[in-house]
Amino acid sequence: MTNDKKDPSMTVVLQSSRFGRIEIPSDAVLDFPAGLIGLGGTRYALLARSEESAFVWLHSLDDPELAVPLTNPWRFFPTYEVELADEEADRIGITDAEATSVYVTVRAAESLQDFCANLRAPILIAHGAGHQVINQAPDAPVRAPLFPTAAEQAA
């Protein structure tokens, strides 16, 4: 007999090249059945310093070298919208938007003004599974500046 529920008392050990040895509750492991665009592996965990952190890391459990910075898009883009075709929502099993966490990948750079977020391919997480989708919203660029300059904000 198999049990599809993850036992929260069990832990998974992640030996990260970036963060060292980390124990993660097994119920915090996210399965990405279709993987992530351009990346390998299907098992990841979200790592954050605190609940208030602006950025979190989506760390591969399959590759100790792979960790992708993410952020909640509404923290930087209050009018951000995710639009999915009904078929896409059905395919990935998203039935309740309120029970779904949304993150976007962050591209870090030397200068804060060059940090950007990919609003076109958000990551949706619900029920222990993650899915990177293509956002159908018309104003969802691949590289949206996270810290626009004063001139850009005025425009």
pLDDT digit string (tens) for 65-88? 999 999 999 999 999 999 988 888
Residue 9: the pLDDT is 67
Residue 89: the pLDDT is 82
Q: With 0-12 CB in 10 A as exposed, 13-18 as middle and 19+ as buried, what is 128? A: middle
Mean pLDDT of the chain: 86
| Residue ranges for the chain with pLDDT beneath 70 | 1-9, 149-155
Distance CA 98, CA 81 (A): 14
Residue 26: the pLDDT is 85
Residue 6: the pLDDT is 57
Residue 49: the pLDDT is 80
Distance CA 81, CA 63 (A): 31
What class, spelled out in words, does domain 11-148 have in CATH?
mainly beta
Sign of CA dihedral 47, 50, 52, 54: negative
